[in-house]
Chain A
Amino acid sequence: MDNLKVLCSKLIKLRVDHIVTRSAKFTVKYRPPHWYAPKVNVVKDDDLTQDNMQFIKEVISDRNDSQQELESPLVQSISHTSQQWLPTTRRVGLIARKIGNYPVWSNNGKKMQTTLLQVVDNHVIKYIPPEEFKPMLTTERNWREKRKLGCMLVGSETINPSTVTKDYCGLFNSVGMLPKRHLRRFMVSPEAALPTGTPLFATHFRVGDYIDIRAKTIDRGFQGVMKRWGFKGMPASHGVTKTHRRPGNIGSGGEKARVWPGTKMPGHMGNRWRIIRGVKILRVNTKYNVLWTLGVAIPGETGAMCYLFDTVLPLRKLKSSPPFPTYFPSDDLPVEYYDECVHPFSDPTLTFEET
């Protein structure tokens, strides 16, 4: 009884002083786009019988066939509606895999290093017009932004639907496609829109054109200051102890007696999105859909996925009309296209004329 009284008195003394309420300013800082869905689905097929497995395989192959049938009439319908290309229009891009580097020689005998990018099984998944497209909110507001560009989803590499989540699969189901391993958006002008299921090829770009390539750089992990920022380090000898690869001083005294923001320090290096702009296309293989691009600075290691689109650099922008809205497949194509400056390996040996 006593205990109960004590408890009651204690409870009476309790007061609610501070109530936390959501302020009116509260906003969602990050909202993924509606088409984003978690992808990987870990399936344990212990409870699947052999017959069920067989059935699933059949369904997948049927859907694959039906999708291939779906492609052809669509392609024909667009090729008739030809839109006009303007220097301000933005075309769709491609998803490519970086497959390695090798040298190519130019017509004046100079060796050029090239990066090979293979365009793997690219299809247009969906076009979202500018009115309906609502990208994710970010903390940085761009007030001047006027939504003129639509969003084109492009997928690459068809995969087994049972290996991905229902959400991710549903995204493709809604447009009648099979799920793709890589899904990416490209901002395009409304006149460059393409219907679902349009295949995209390496011939979307021409030789001699310049492209921008967006990819993730090689993940180098946590790195010191010498590798990450190219610091010089300190001497190996002459009495130096325990400080050979360290940054040294990171600030001065007085007013600035603290570490200034942005000081270069050790940390995680690589695995960031980077865009290399204005890369020239030297050669295109139409059989395997491979692009040879000048230089070895394309981010990522061999096998990394890259996203290619027409360059935005003012002096290297497209000057004449490219295949617009994209290249439509035709049978009579040369296997290889070479830029003017490239010496094909099948050509005779280079000789220089006496002048």
Chain B
Amino acid sequence: MSLAIRRTTELIGAAKWFLRRDSRVLSTLPEKVEEPPAELTSKRYRRRFFQNEAILETRHAYPEFLPDPNPNWRNSLREKLERADMLERRSQIDIPEFYVGSVLAVTISDPHAQSKTNRFVGICIERKGCGLRAEFTLRNVVDHQGLEVRYDLYDPTIQSIQVLRLEKRLDDKLFYLRDALPEYSTFSFDMDPEILPEGTPIPVNPVQVKLKPRPWLERWERQELKGVSNIEEHLKEKDRVRRELRKTPWEKYDLMKQYRKTIPIEDQSKIWAEVHNQLQQLQMARKKSARKRTFTTPKTQLG
């Protein structure tokens, strides 16, 4: 009996955790997570419900497995072939779970480099694209010079993608780092990976950056950014008036717009059912190798 009680509390905790996680605009479900009915009659139903939820949770970790929602470009066979190719590539290289705001180190093979490889460390400021077209952008400041490198996620010249710090930020895109003070996007190349204890939810970094004075690359004040602290300092009265005029508060009620931007839950569960097993296996293999790595003896450094 006590065991059963403990399990239920765990399940409730899990459900709360699902609710807390923010959903990405593209390639997601509507934000509401369906609550299981209050009086759960059968255990089997409950298990299936949470299993399904767990499968759907993978959409945050692997957003590129969902196709582009534009109906003009969709074709079930193409999507299937594309997913098979993605899994084949994933069997060759460990592509970890990461989010916008995570700090990554990417090593690619470069024919023009001296050592034929090139390593870059930076904060992921954008993730976009579906299927094999998925790409991400890393930003860093090296020698007072801002650098941004865009990588294709499934490019076979990528030798390794290492997550140095796994976390999220308050916004979906961090383009405002370009106009922020350089210390917010400076990361040293010999940064050590920070390992999160297993099973913890992805931490959200609540840091709010300070913008440099104008001119800016974009009109940040109109974008309702949460991760910027001093935007009001740099605005004139004219900008505030224009911001009010440009607001589109009705768009969050536009159900059609939301529908057009998302893949329906029925389609998603089909897709995840197809790839979930293989992704799970790859994840298990990754965990095993990670455990092995921790027990290796550190290299003796000379000189």
Q: Out of B73, B88, B152, name the residue touching A345 (CB < 8 Å).
A: B88
| CA distance in complex: A124, B27 (Å) | 42
Q: Which 5 A-B pairs have the closest CB atoms?
A: A100-B78, A345-B88, A99-B75, A352-B111, A346-B88
The stretch from B39-47, B89-97, B214-222, B292-300 touching chain A is: B89-97
Query: Could you tell me if B132 and A102 are in contact, using CB atoms closer than 8 angstroms?
Result: yes
Q: Out of A103, A347, A350, name the residue touching B109 (CB < 8 Å).
A: A350
Query: Could you tell me if B109 and A109 are in contact, using CB atoms closer than 8 angstroms?
Result: yes
A351 in contact (CB, < 8 A): yes
- Which residues from chain B contact A302 at a C-beta distance below 8 Å? 72-75
| CA distance in complex: A72, B78 (Å) | 30
B156 in contact (CB, < 8 A): yes
B116 in contact (CB, < 8 A): yes
Q: Out of A103, A301, A347, name the residue touching B133 (CB < 8 Å).
A: A103
User: Would you list which residues of chain B between 154 and 197 have a CB under 8 Å from chain A?
Assistant: 154-159
Query: Could you tell me if A349 and B157 are in contact, using CB atoms closer than 8 angstroms?
Result: yes
B81 in contact (CB, < 8 A): yes
Residue in chain A with minimal CB distance to B90: A345
Query: Could you tell me if B159 and A349 are in contact, using CB atoms closer than 8 angstroms?
Result: yes
Most B C-beta atoms less than 10 A away, residue of A102, A285, A352: A102
Query: Could you tell me if A346 and B116 are in contact, using CB atoms closer than 8 angstroms?
Result: no
Residue in chain B with minimal CB distance to A102: B132
Task: Mark A residues whose CB is within 8 Å of B.
Answer: 99-100, 102-103, 105, 108-109, 111, 116, 118, 285, 288, 290, 301-303, 343-354
Query: Could you tell me if A100 and B92 are in contact, using CB atoms closer than 8 angstroms?
Result: no
Q: Give me 8 A-to-B residue pairs in the complex whose CB atoms sit less than 8 angstroms apart, sorted by A's number.
A: A99-B78, A100-B78, A102-B85, A103-B132, A109-B156, A301-B72, A348-B92, A350-B157
Query: Could you tell me if A102 and B156 are in contact, using CB atoms closer than 8 angstroms?
Result: no
Q: Out of B78, B88, B92, name the residue touching A349 (CB < 8 Å).
A: B92
| CA distance in complex: A290, B116 (Å) | 35
| CA distance in complex: A99, B110 (Å) | 33
For the residues of A in contact with B, the DSSP-based class is loop
Q: Out of B72, B81, B86, B116, name the residue touching A116 (CB < 8 Å).
A: B81
Residue in chain B with minimal CB distance to A105: B156
Residue in chain A with minimal CB distance to B87: A345
B77 in contact (CB, < 8 A): yes
B82 in contact (CB, < 8 A): yes
B131 in contact (CB, < 8 A): yes
Question: Shortest CB–CB separation between residue A347 and chain B, in angstroms?
Answer: 7
| CA distance in complex: A131, B36 (Å) | 74
Residue in chain A with minimal CB distance to B112: A352
Q: Out of B77, B89, B133, name the residue touching A102 (CB < 8 Å).
A: B133
- Which residues from chain B contact A116 at a C-beta distance below 8 Å? 78, 81
Contact flag A102-B109 (CB < 8 Å), given A345-B89, A345-B154: no
Write the B62-78 contact mask toward A (1 if CB under 8 angstroms, else 0): 00000000001111011
| CA distance in complex: A343, B89 (Å) | 11
Residue in chain A with minimal CB distance to B71: A302
| CA distance in complex: A118, B76 (Å) | 12
- Which residues from chain A contact B93 at a C-beta distance below 8 Å? 349
- Which residues from chain B contact A99 at a C-beta distance below 8 Å? 75, 77-78
| CA distance in complex: A353, B115 (Å) | 9
Query: Could you tell me if B77 and A351 are in contact, using CB atoms closer than 8 angstroms?
Result: no
Contact flag A100-B156 (CB < 8 Å), given A116-B78, A349-B92: no
Q: Out of B75, B81, B152, B159, name the residue touching A303 (CB < 8 Å).
A: B75
- Which residues from chain B contact A347 at a C-beta distance below 8 Å? 92, 156
- Which residues from chain B contact A290 at a C-beta distance below 8 Å? 77, 81
Q: Other than A103-B133, A345-B85, give 9 A-B pairs with Cβ distance below 8 A.
A: A99-B75, A99-B78, A102-B132, A290-B77, A345-B154, A346-B92, A349-B109, A350-B157, A352-B110
Residue in chain B with minimal CB distance to A110: B157
| CA distance in complex: A262, B158 (Å) | 51
Most B C-beta atoms less than 10 A away, residue of A285, A344, A352: A352
Contact flag A351-B73 (CB < 8 Å), given A102-B133, A346-B88: no
Q: Out of A288, A343, A354, name the residue touching B156 (CB < 8 Å).
A: A343
| CA distance in complex: A78, B86 (Å) | 40
| CA distance in complex: A290, B85 (Å) | 14
Question: Shortest CB–CB separation between residue A12 and chain B, in angstroms?
Answer: 72
- Which residues from chain A contact B158 at a C-beta distance below 8 Å? 349
| CA distance in complex: A108, B111 (Å) | 9
- Which residues from chain B contact A102 at a C-beta distance below 8 Å? 78, 82, 85, 131-133
Query: Could you tell me if B73 and A109 are in contact, using CB atoms closer than 8 angstroms?
Result: no
Q: Out of B72, B74, B156, name the residue touching A350 (CB < 8 Å).
A: B156
Question: Shortest CB–CB separation between residue B23 and chain A, in angstroms?
Answer: 26
Question: Shortest CB–CB separation between residue A175 and chain B, in angstroms?
Answer: 29
Query: Could you tell me if A109 and B157 are in contact, using CB atoms closer than 8 angstroms?
Result: yes
Query: Could you tell me if B116 and A351 are in contact, using CB atoms closer than 8 angstroms?
Result: yes
- Which residues from chain A contact B85 at a C-beta distance below 8 Å? 102, 345
- Which residues from chain A contact B86 at a C-beta distance below 8 Å? 345
| CA distance in complex: A34, B110 (Å) | 60
Question: Shortest CB–CB separation between residue B68 and chain A, in angstroms?
Answer: 10
Query: Could you tell me if B157 and A103 are in contact, using CB atoms closer than 8 angstroms?
Result: no
- Which residues from chain A contact B88 at a C-beta distance below 8 Å? 344-346
Question: Shortest CB–CB separation between residue B263 and chain A, in angstroms?
Answer: 16
Residue in chain B with minimal CB distance to A285: B81
Q: Out of B72, B131, B152, B159, name the residue touching A111 (CB < 8 Å).
A: B152
| CA distance in complex: A249, B158 (Å) | 53
Query: Could you tell me if A351 and B82 are in contact, using CB atoms closer than 8 angstroms?
Result: no
Residue in chain A with minimal CB distance to B84: A345
Q: Out of B75, B110, B152, B159, name the residue touching A100 (CB < 8 Å).
A: B75
- Which residues from chain A contact B73 at a C-beta distance below 8 Å? 100, 302
| CA distance in complex: A297, B211 (Å) | 43
- Which residues from chain B contact A118 at a C-beta distance below 8 Å? 77
